[in-house]
Amino acid sequence: MPELPEVETVRLGLERGVAGRTIASVDVGHPRSVRRHTAGAGDFAGRLAGRTVLSAQRRGKYLWLPLDSGDALTGHLGMSGQLLVVPADSPLQKHLHVRLRFTDEGRELRFVDQRTFGGLLVVPGGEPVPPLLAHIARDPLDPDFDDEQFVERVRRRRTGLKRALLDQTLVSGIGNIYADETLWRAQLHGERATDRLSRPAVRRVLGHAREVLLEAVAAGGTSFDALYVSTDGVSGLFERSLNAYGREGEPCPRCGAPVRRESFMNRSSFSCPRCQPRPR
């Protein structure tokens, strides 16, 4: 469930917790967590030891730490990944897969991941973005996000609006939760055809997405359980602000109709049957 607000909360924690520090050693406990590092866990650890972390960056739901070697430690939290900055003697988490210790012997960085959809890898380049992430679009909170280009690209697509919002090559950072919240605010059904939306309608959708993401960042993200937490292990508070997602049967906060749940792409979509009628 980590989407932009959750990943941004983690990025801030990494900026505060590990930027400027030098990595001493790396332990990979679960090879699956570094499966995208094709040269293997040994190479992964070797490229990190002795390197200094320059900063913490994010593109969409990807994070990376540029290193003084010119490489970048890159990560994706997937469904259940956590990057924790914790005292070196704190108890080992059940699904702890990667540990990074620092030369100052202070707090260490731990990658914990129950479902192992997430992972870490070291890639060349980090400025402005590692080539690995070149296909990921900017997010709506990025000052360089091009609103009009987005509007044109969406209207050229022949797909449903929710699919477009979830397409990280069109706009990044939005997942199932914030897509549903954006559509609820825009009062549009996710299956509305993108090529039949007017330019102002797409602009309004983008505006709602930006507002939802901004409010969620301010709340420290959304947490349903202990799976999503900040680098300090703290849960986000946005869950209480959700209007549609996860609220099947509860009254729509706008019109009172019971929120409906529909199956979509092997997952669930939540919407108001009255405010967001299905197209045609």
Smallest gap from Cβ 253 to DNA, in A, equals 19
Structure tokens at 167: 């397409």
Among 16, 20, 29, 32, binds DNA (CB under 7 A): 32
Sign of CA dihedral 59, 48, 124, 128: positive
SS (H, E, C) 138-154: CCCCCCCCCHHHHHHHH
**Smaller CB separation from DNA, 22 or 116:** 116
Which segment (19-27, 55-63, 103-111, 137-145) binds DNA by CB under 7 A? 55-63
Beta carbons of 189 and 279 less than 8 angstroms apart = yes
CB atoms within 10 A of CB 14: 23
> Considering the rule CB under 7 A, would residue 176 count as an interface residue with DNA?
yes
> Considering the rule CB under 7 A, would residue 130 count as an interface residue with DNA?
no
**Smaller CB separation from DNA, 102 or 264:** 264
Say which of 94, 158, 240, 267 is annotated catalytic.
267
> Considering the rule CB under 7 A, would residue 3 count as an interface residue with DNA?
yes
Nearest alpha carbon to residue 59 among 16, 8, 21: 8
Helix (H) or strand (E) holding 25, with range, is strand 23-28
Tokens 């009628």, located at residue = 277
Binding track over 244-263 against DNA, x by CB under 7 A: -x------------------
Tokens 């509305």, located at residue = 192
**Smaller CB separation from DNA, 234 or 265:** 265
> Considering the rule CB under 7 A, would residue 196 count as an interface residue with DNA?
no
Q: Where in the sequence numbering do the catalytic residues fall?
A: 2-3, 61, 267
